[in-house]
Structure 1
């Protein structure tokens, strides 16, 4: 390809065209591509002639002529808002705006997408009355053809999973009849179906246009969302030198009534004679409103020392598919089971709190092993504790968040920050936080650590060997404060683990050893944790 002079040839060479071709059709296609590139950068008057040198060589001669660098586009404010024009041009006036020639196509596509968002999917844009203003400037009129009135969604039909709870369309996806039709927005919203535990999207939404109606078809399938899991842990008891076993069972039932509801039941028994029973119910979108309710019951018993019963009722509001806020009440009753009532560390008490919470969840649904990428939960509670004839103000703070940083398809980093604090003037042993074990700091017995406040960091480097198998490191650290015993400790957990996804569920094995600042590392302090999460 050559130009009419050296300067034109230099412009053509800068377009980086392909010189070798398999046939004549490819040659013609390449010439056509170069002409379109010349038009985009302002050579509207260019002319071209193809010359056959011999059976295998052709020469394309271009005469570029004048280059236009900018264009004045006149528009109607009633058809296009100036605020939209200001998003594509820095020179906007009452009746026209100025664009560089090379950005015209992109700008028109942007304006057309904004027209689509207004419910006009069949609108067409074009420039007409194109004239020369001066040596490097053109003028044109922006024309918009709307063949019909604005389109709204008249009906929404769910295919494949017809019993899908309709409230999730209105409040979770924010899709409802009589909305303006915008296909790109609808596609973005329906992708959020993959964030639900009980359903996912099997293909992109489709639309049926008739003369006077618009029907949206959404394709969803019901997924296995019930889970049953448990773990078995064992380690050497330092006092008896015997192996102690501990574990728990956890059942979660989700959307069995096609309402989006959730029910959970957990029972845990640990080697230090602790028993915990937990039950919770979540009912979303009560009476077809964006308000849902959460109810929880926790019963904890420490051998023959004390029992504590927590009752929680919360209302939640689903802001969108990722954000949720809570408000509720929490009531606690604890009873001292000891015959010796002179023990001041454990006492009968009642407490009531008003709680406020926030939750953020971001999914990565196409990763079977790690479907949740980010989760943040923060809660605060303000109330009073009553003991005998005294009353004392208290504040509870709770924070739990984790994030997965994907380095590439196989390597990732996992970070979790968990903290809890009880703010009070005095404390009883039976109201302290209890943690430790596979779900908190690994390498320690389940619920063996007591604190008035603590901050916990879990980190893992994960190597995903395939879609169903991964291995990881374990590095945990906890800062613990107990104002009853007036102690501050730093605790560490180190180890490794693996996860295997099979037809039976997700199997996890963790091996970790725990130590404190003033304690030497010992393999005899290590713990092995096994768990299996089965979906059904």
Structure 2
């Protein structure tokens, strides 16, 4: 049977002389074609490319067929135009805009390289749009030569409407969305200059809110005299319940000891953007912690919010500490927040007849200054936050029956997830505190250890005047709902009350499983001191479940 085939045609484009041909050859063009129509389109494309380079008077001399497969085309480039001087009405374009596109400009003209005319005019037009002229257009008129290599033209700015502003903001879907977040979090206000690009950028910040999602992109309704902005928002489940169970072998009794905590976080239940946190923790050392936090953002429709906290810590029948604090905060933007406030701690010695010389009744008053940064990555259900930093400084004094003493307390906590690829990531966390004082009481020392500091140790079992912890995990995601990880924790602490210094280590592994109930995590970690040998009995198993509702 005879076989069919398609014949390929070849195109060769030459200039009017050797120099022009060399210039054309430096521009990539398609040489192999299926038919003549394809050849014609390629020649038109070449002429357009040459025009953008400044050869605006290039001329197609001829296109001829040499043989059955070869076509020759000849284009005369003529003189290359290098620049164009553009005149415009005075004060129509600001100097700040002209500075971005031209090195030669004045109040009524600016000069552009010929190959940047299109991009420069598009840039100027985008700036006009940002000034509230979404339908403006730019047009060059009266184009003429002023020399063999230069052009001159007049710029006409067509303004179809007066400057537009956002006259109304309408929320669809989540009608009770807190209006203060529109003004202070998204920075969207009525009567601000209309700029669609800037609006899309601002509404993207809805992704940084836990209690709301953007259903689709914003829409604009233009009428003759007004502009309405429609936002499509859905209320999200943002309440969380977090708890864990830990157990290990008690070296003295050789029995299992259990410990755990409950952490409830209620967000935006009143459609105000408020947050209420409740924490209860009990551990194997007969220590109990109760903590309540209330955050009220954007009080009286201002960017100022308030944070109230109550913390009660009790160690068996030895002592109890009660801390109350009140802070005001300012939301700089969606990721940054600063605080200032006051706190008071009162500690009571519960021992009979003050039998311990290191446990005293005291009261402290602090002035605090804090900074908080949080960067989310809500597209990852297992790890919804990418990085965080909290720095808290406190200055004040401690008073007891004997004397009054100045003190300084600093707390630092931060983490970062380094995403190597879709499945592999590194998790790094730092956590530390410093209490600076001339003398120390046992019931005011810092307490750490456990799942939220150095793993492999009992909760709040380590007392220190200063400490630092580095947690690291190598994480591997088996799929979108399961991951496994290593555990490598290192800590250093000092206790000036008993003049001790020590290094701590925690090694182990764990996994996380995203279930219908929430994120279930299990860690198996062995903790040891620098001078201690490895003992399997020192291992701790930490189990936690965090659920959203």
Does the alignment reach a TM-score above 0.5? yes
Are 1:311 and 2:324 matched, yes or no? yes
Tell me if structure 2 keeps the 8 A contact 1:477–1:490: yes
| Shift of residue 469, structure 1, vs aligned partner | 2.0
For 1:223 and 1:498, the matched residues in 2 are separated by 27
- The offset of 1:475, in angstroms, is 1.8
| 1:104 alignment partner in structure 2 | 117
Contiguous gaps of at least 5 residues in structure 2 = 1-11
Q: How does 1:47-446 map to 2 (within 5 A)?
A: 47-48=59-60, 49-51=62-64, 58-446=71-459
Name the counterpart of 2:534: 521
What RMSD over aligned residues (CA atoms) do the two structures have, in Å?
A: 1.9
The change in CA–CA distance for 1:416 and 1:25 in structure 2 (over 3 A counts) is farther
Shift of 1:60: 4.2
Q: Distance in 2 between matches of 1:26 and 1:463?
A: 51
Deviation at 1:199, TM superposition (A): 0.5
Cα distance in 2 for partners of 1:513, 1:439 equals 15
Q: Which residue of 2 aligns with 1:41?
A: 53
State whether structure 2 residue 13 is matched by structure 1 residue 2.
yes
Give me the TM-score of the superposition, normalised by structure 2.
0.93
Deviation, structure 1 residue 28: 4.4
User: Could you say which residue in structure 2 is the equivalent of 1:19?
Assistant: 31
Q: Distance in 1 between matches of 2:544 and 2:151?
A: 71
Paired residue secondary structure (2:165): coil
Q: Is the 8 A contact 2:91 2:107 kept in 1?
A: no
- CA-to-aligned-CA distance 1:398-454 (integer Å, 9 cap, x gap): 111112222222222222222211111111111111111111111111111111111
**Relative to structure 1, is the Cα distance of residues 498 and 35 closer, same or farther in structure 2, using a 3 angstrom cutoff?**
farther
**Cα deviation, residue 80, structure 1:** 0.8
By how many angstroms is 1:57 displaced?
5.9
**TM-score, normalised by the number of residues in structure 1:** 0.95
User: Retained in 2: the 8 A contact 1:154–1:177?
Assistant: yes
Distance 1:302 1:67, change over 3 A: same
Structure 1: runs of 5 or more not aligned: none
3-state SS of the aligned residue for 1:403?
strand
Q: Distance in 1 between matches of 2:279 and 2:152?
A: 72
How far apart in 2 are the matches of 1:164 and 1:423? 45
Deviation at 1:27, TM superposition (A): 4.4
CA distance in structure 1 between the aligned counterparts of 2:535 and 2:246, rounded to whole angstroms: 18
Local SS of the residue matching 2:153: strand
Q: Find the aligned partners of 2:537 and 2:136 in 1 and give their Cα distance.
A: 74
- Shift of the alpha carbon at 1:89? 2.5
SS at match of 1:86: helix
Residue 196 of structure 1 and its aligned partner are, at CA, apart by: 0.4
Of 484, 490, 500, 2:503 maps to: 490
- The change in CA–CA distance for 1:25 and 1:203 in structure 2 (over 3 A counts) is farther
Give yes or no for contact 1:3–1:64 (8 Å, CA) kept in 2. Answer: no
Further displaced range: 500-509 or 6-15: 6-15
Assess if the C-alpha contact under 8 Å between 1:2 and 1:8 holds in 2: no
How far off is 1:55 after superposition?
Answer: 7.5
- Deviation string 1:323-355 (CA, Å, 9 cap, x unpaired) is 111111111111111114141211111111111
Aligned residues: 536
Change (3 A) 1:51 1:448: farther
Shift of 1:517: 1.8
Secondary structure of 1:2 counterpart: strand
Could you say which residue in structure 1 is the equivalent of 2:3? none
Supply the distance in 1 between the matched residues of 2:38 and 2:216 (Cα, whole angstroms).
36
